């Protein structure tokens, strides 16, 4: 994956160089300024007077200390957004948001996410034309805090020095979109690792007016830090539709964004109020961080932005600019991306977590564990209960099985809360009309995988089966391709990040594995092979298999057999949201608490009647309906073969979070990567969904 991304980036950079002079360019271009103009001072009494005496200006001008004795040339050097080749936006998705989203009349990210100190930070880019990097790095730092509750300061120096031609020309200007692509494919280290200014004085960009772009050293200033481990990544890079509503929705949902706009001479004098262009020559293009919006006392709608010219400039480092009129092009060039969890949780041992959520079994005695799971008393108690709503029997699947052997199948481990840090919770439009009954098997009858009932054997791999089977179905639904994905790949190769293989795992981690590593087909890496039984599940004590990373057939390549997910998310625990998710995108994985009586399920709508809590189980939810007795239910496919339950399926009470069934719903969307060769943008297009 990394190799293909790098090739793509270097090709793009080459295109920039080869065609830069011949492209129709879009973005921000400065006027050609005379030598006399360039050597004159940027701050002018005439401009201050013209602005302050204009009753319709709406803002106040002053001699900002930041540019005392600065020439126009020195000021111009700071404006580092260079004209962007149109090809830089090829394949970059334009994100739009739901127009029905109710937005506040005023919004300030500093108060909305008051725990995020980075949002309130005002920096100084010095004399380097690095605004394009600052606007991106500061926005992404904020988004890491918003999404992961992690206050981090990311390094502008990494982007300036190491992004190279993809981003432009370092201190001589760059492309904001290039910075976000760099985050996605290469990541960015922390300010602590690679500071913009260091403690020896001034050996980084911005110290002197003609300071060159620094060299890319790819090492942290502290020997105690590793460059690769300090990297923080982005998930996507996208533009925002230039409608003010879409820009506001993006900031409201995901945090600050980077904006680029044209700067005129009068902007250097901004002190307070809502800026709009009044007078002076066009100087160049600038990038900053947009953090909110509002309306002034004079009724002027504005955007609220943080600059990086230190607090001696403007309104304590901030400024407002007219909103809704694309003032100076401010609404035309809005870019952003989402932070990734990649590298965030390295080194954390699962055993060290003390904050766990999910499903925990009761501590069972040795006597209990060695007793039979199927009991006449349970069958009798359920079947004689007129309010049970379901029938119990001795399922062949667990004939002669002990409680310990049954318990081993229940592989959903109590999940560290950190596993859900940054995982989006998806909800759906409540106005969506849903049918009273739905069965994915008939809705997508061409997808044979949906009606498949498998057998996890004796391995606690339910967390992997529920995920792999749901994703297989979603590939068919989206791409009309019947594919059977490999449980064994996930079980063997995800490692401790997913849990403990046959000894249990975390469903959400399985979906993250699909996203970052992909999963091969069952044909490439089968769960059971045709020689009998050499894969997990054959014997009660069979260990988790080793990760071989090669297909059983010499005619298949492991990497080419990979199928990827775009995203990993939780579904809001309201039944309507779960139904909408299945209705729109296909089956989902659910986790729930299993009691002894569940082993005896034969038909009807299950609810817990009797027996001890044994553990957590994961299965595939494929539909819903209402029984003849008026009981709302979920329809689910288990992986205990067809001798268990209702031909391998079961129903469970819907709308009451029976056994926690509605609380642990996870899913993701399939990617066209490796499926439709040559398409590279669809993964990013889905960024706007979350």
Residue 361 domain-assigned (yes or no): no
Encoded tokens for 135: 């606007």
d(CA 663, CA 285): 49
Q: Which residues pair with 640 in a beta bridge?
A: 455
Q: Quick one: average pLDDT of 295-304?
A: 97
Does 617 participate in catalysis according to the annotation?
A: yes
Q: Confirm if 239 and 89 have CB atoms less than 8 A apart.
A: yes
* 43/98 same-domain check: yes
Question: Given a cut of 50, is residue 348 above it in pLDDT?
Answer: no
pLDDT in tens, 45-62: 999 999 999 999 999 999
Give the domain-ending residue among 336, 364, 399: 336
H-type alpha helices, 327-397 = 366-369, 376-383
Residue 10 domain-assigned (yes or no): yes
Residue 348 domain-assigned (yes or no): no
Residue 350 domain-assigned (yes or no): no
Give the domain-ending residue among 306, 336, 366: 336
d(CA 613, CA 362): 6
Give the domain-ending residue among 276, 302, 336: 336
pLDDT in tens, 141-150: 999 999 988 8
Domain hosting 497: range is 378-683
pLDDT in tens, 258-278: 999 999 999 999 999 999 999
* 384/330 same-domain check: no
d(CA 487, CA 468): 6
- Which pLDDT score is estimated for 318? 96
Question: Given a cut of 60, is residue 528 above it in pLDDT?
Answer: no
* 571/476 same-domain check: yes
* 519/614 same-domain check: yes
Encoded tokens for 560: 């080419």
- Which pLDDT score is estimated for 421? 63
Residue 362 domain-assigned (yes or no): no
- Which pLDDT score is estimated for 19? 36
Task: Give the chain's domain count.
Answer: 2
The DSSP element (H or E) to which 425 belongs, if any, is strand 425-426
Q: Can you tell me whether residue 593 is helix, strand or coil?
A: strand
pLDDT in tens, 390-409: 999 998 889 889 999 999 99
Question: Given a cut of 50, is residue 201 above it in pLDDT?
Answer: no
Question: Given a cut of 50, is residue 683 above it in pLDDT?
Answer: no
6 vs 639, higher pLDDT:
639
Encoded tokens for 625: 């309906």
Residue 345 domain-assigned (yes or no): no
Residue 341 domain-assigned (yes or no): no
Does 638 participate in catalysis according to the annotation?
A: yes
Phi and psi at residue 436, in whole multiples of 5°? -70, -30
Does 462 participate in catalysis according to the annotation?
A: yes
* 307/453 same-domain check: no
Give the Cβ contact number of residue 129 at 10 Å: 29
* Catalytic option among 462, 494, 524, 551: 462
Residue 638: give its domain's CATH number. Answer: 3.90.70.10
Detail the DSSP E strand segments found in 133-247: 238-240
d(CA 298, CA 234): 39
* 400/323 same-domain check: no
- Which pLDDT score is estimated for 681? 34
Specify the range with the lowest mean pLDDT, choosing from 132-146, 396-410, 429-443, 524-538. 524-538
CA distances from 189 to 157, 342, 579 (A): 9, 12, 41
* 406/500 same-domain check: yes
Q: Can you tell me whether residue 686 is helix, strand or coil?
A: helix
With a CB cutoff of 8 Å and minimum separation 6, the contacts of 548 are 492, 525
Q: Quick one: average pLDDT of 147-162?
A: 90
* 412/296 same-domain check: no
* 38/157 same-domain check: yes
* Catalytic option among 157, 307, 395, 638: 638
* 294/394 same-domain check: no
- Which pLDDT score is estimated for 355? 31
Detail the DSSP E strand segments found in 296-353: 301-306, 318-322, 334-336
Question: Given a cut of 60, is residue 18 above it in pLDDT?
Answer: no
Angle at 621 between CA 615 and CA 625, to 5 degrees: 115
* 228/143 same-domain check: yes
Residue 578 domain-assigned (yes or no): yes
């Amino acid at each position: 994956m990394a190799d293909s991304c790098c090739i793509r980036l270097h090709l793009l950079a080459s295109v920039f160089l080869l065609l830069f002079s011949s492209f129709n360019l879009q973005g921000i271009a400065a006027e050609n300024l005379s030598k006399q103009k360039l050597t004159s001072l940027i701050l002018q009494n005439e401009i201050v007077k013209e602005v302050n005496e204009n009753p319709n200006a709406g803002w106040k001008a002053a001699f900002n200390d930041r540019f005392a004795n600065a020439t126009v040339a020195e000021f111009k050097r700071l404006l580092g957004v260079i004209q962007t080749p149109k090809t830089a936006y090829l394949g970059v998705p334009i994100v739009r948001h739901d127009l029905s989203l109710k937005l506040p009349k005023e919004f300030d990210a500093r108060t909305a996410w008051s725990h995020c100190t980075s949002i309130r930070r005002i920096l100084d880019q010095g004399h380097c034309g690095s605004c394009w990097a600052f606007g991106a790095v500061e926005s992404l730092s904020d988004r890491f805090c918003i999404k992961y509750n992690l206050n981090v300061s990311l390094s502008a120096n990494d982007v300036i020095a190491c992004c190279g031609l993809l981003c432009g020309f370092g201190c001589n200007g760059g492309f904001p979109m290039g910075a976000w692509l760099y985050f996605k494919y290469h990541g960015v280290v922390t300010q602590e690792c690679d500071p913009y200014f260091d403690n020896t004085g001034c050996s980084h960009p911005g110290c002197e007016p003609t300071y060159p772009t620094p060299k890319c050293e790819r090492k942290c200033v502290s020997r105690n830090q590793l460059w690769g481990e300090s990297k923080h990544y982005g998930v996507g890079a996208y533009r925002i539709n230039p409608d003010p509503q879409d820009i506001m929705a993006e900031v409201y949902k995901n945090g600050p964004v980077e904006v680029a706009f044209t700067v005129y001479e009068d902007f250097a004098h901004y002190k307070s109020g809502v800026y709009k262009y009044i007078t002076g020559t066009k100087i160049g293009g600038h990038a900053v961080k947009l953090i909110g919006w509002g309306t002034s006392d004079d009724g002027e709608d504005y955007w609220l932005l943080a600059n990086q010219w230190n607090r001696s400039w403007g309104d304590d480092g901030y400024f407002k600019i007219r909103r809704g009129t694309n003032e100076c092009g401010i609404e035309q060039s809005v870019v952003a991306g989402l932070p990734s969890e990649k590298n965030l949780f390295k080194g954390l041992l699962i055993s060290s977590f003390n904050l766990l959520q999910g499903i925990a079994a009761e501590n069972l005695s040795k006597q209990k564990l060695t007793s039979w799971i199927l009991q006449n008393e349970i069958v009798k108690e359920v079947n004689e209960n007129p309010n049970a709503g379901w029938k119990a029997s001795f399922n062949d699947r667990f004939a002669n099985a002990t409680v310990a052997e049954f318990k081993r199948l229940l592989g959903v481990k109590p999940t560290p809360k950190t596993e859900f840090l940054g995982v989006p919770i998806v909800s759906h439009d409540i106005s969506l009309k849903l049918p009273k009954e739905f069965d994915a098997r008939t809705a997508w009858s061409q997808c044979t995988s949906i009606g498949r009932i498998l057998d996890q054997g004796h391995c606690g791999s339910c967390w992997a089966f529920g995920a792999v089977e749901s994703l297989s179905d979603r590939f068919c639904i989206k791409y009309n391709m019947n594919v059977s994905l490999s449980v064994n790949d996930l079980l063997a190769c995800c490692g401790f990040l997913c849990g403990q293989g046959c000894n249990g795992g975390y469903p959400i981690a399985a979906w993250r594995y699909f996203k970052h590593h992909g999963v091969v087909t069952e044909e490439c890496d089968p769960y059971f092979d045709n020689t009998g039984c050499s894969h997990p599940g054959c014997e009660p004590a069979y260990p988790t298999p080793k990760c071989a990373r090669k297909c059983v057939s010499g005619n298949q390549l492991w990497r080419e057999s990979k199928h990827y997910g775009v995203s990993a998310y939780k579904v809001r625990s309201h039944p309507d949201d779960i139904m909408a998710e299945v209705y729109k995108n296909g089956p989902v994985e659910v986790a729930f608490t299993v009691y002894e009586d569940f082993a005896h399920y034969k038909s009807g709508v299950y609810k817990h009647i009797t027996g001890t809590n044994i553990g957590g189980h994961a299965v595939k939810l494929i539909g819903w309906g209402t029984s003849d007795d008026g009981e709302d239910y979920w329809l689910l496919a288990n992986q205990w073969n067809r001798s268990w339950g209702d031909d391998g399926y079961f129903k469970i009470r819907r709308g009451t979070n029976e056994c926690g069934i509605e609380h642990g719903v996870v899913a993701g969307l399939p990617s066209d990567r490796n499926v439709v060769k040559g398409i590279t943008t669809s993964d990013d297009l889905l960024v706007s969904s979350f």
